[in-house]
């Protein structure tokens, strides 16, 4: 059994600040918090990020962190399924690394305008809501130095 309890904790913290926490691990892999009025409150739905009604539902992370992949989908797409499970495990272990380096905020989808925000993968407001650290100017220069 795969356990993603750290992801549940991250969403529990965010749910105190945001009504419907969600995170795009990639454009085609989005985690959505199931709210209090849903059938499985506090769990996390895993989808391909398409609009409601058109999206593919991949499965659910249960309250105790247990990953439950939709079995029909797993049978039909075993390789894609493995990829997605690997991404979910990587996000659970190292969320900051999985979010880093993108043009839109992983949480709210807003365009990120500064190099600092692009490198961390989220804006200042979402950093507060999700209780995630912000990188400093000094760290940006270090990162750029590494690439030379
Ligand atoms: Zn944001």
Q: Write out pLDDT tens, residues 120-129.
A: 999 999 999 9
Identify the domain boundary among 99, 117, 138: 99
Q: How far is the CA of 129 from the centre of ligand 1 (A)?
A: 9
Whether residue 105 sits in one domain with residue 92: no
Whether residue 106 sits in one domain with residue 92: no
Number of compact structural domains in the chain: 2
Do 120 and 107 contact (CB within 8 A), yes or no?
Answer: no
Q: How far is the CA of 16 from the centre of ligand 1 (A)?
A: 16
Looking at residue 12, its pLDDT comes to: 96
Whether residue 67 sits in one domain with residue 107: no
* Range of the structural domain that residue 19 is part of: 1-99
Whether residue 5 sits in one domain with residue 55: yes
Q: How far is the CA of 106 from the centre of ligand 1 (A)?
A: 7
Q: Give me the residues paired with residue 31 across strands.
A: 23, 46
Residues with CB under 5 A from ligand 1 (ion): 105, 107-108, 123, 126
Q: How far is the CA of 2 from the centre of ligand 1 (A)?
A: 28
- Distance in angstroms (rounded) separating the CA atoms of residues 70 and 76: 10
Q: Whole-model pTM?
A: 0.90
């Amino acid at each position: 059994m795969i356990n993603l309890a750290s992801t549940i904790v991250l969403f529990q913290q965010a749910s105190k600040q945001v009504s419907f926490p969600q995170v795009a691990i990639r454009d085609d892999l989005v985690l959505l918090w199931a709210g209090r009025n849903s059938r499985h409150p506090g769990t996390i739905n895993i989808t391909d990020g398409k609009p409601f009604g058109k999206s593919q539902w991949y499965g659910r992370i249960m309250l105790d962190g247990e990953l439950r992949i939709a079995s029909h989908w797993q049978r039909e797409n075993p390789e894609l399924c493995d990829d997605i499970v690997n991404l979910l495990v990587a996000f659970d272990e190292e969320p900051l690394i999985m979010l880093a380096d993108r043009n839109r905020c992983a949480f709210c989808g807003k365009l990120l305008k500064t190099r600092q925000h692009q490198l961390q993968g989220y804006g200042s407001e979402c950093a507060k809501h999700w209780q995630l650290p912000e990188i400093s100017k000094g760290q940006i220069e270090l990162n750029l130095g590494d690439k030379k």
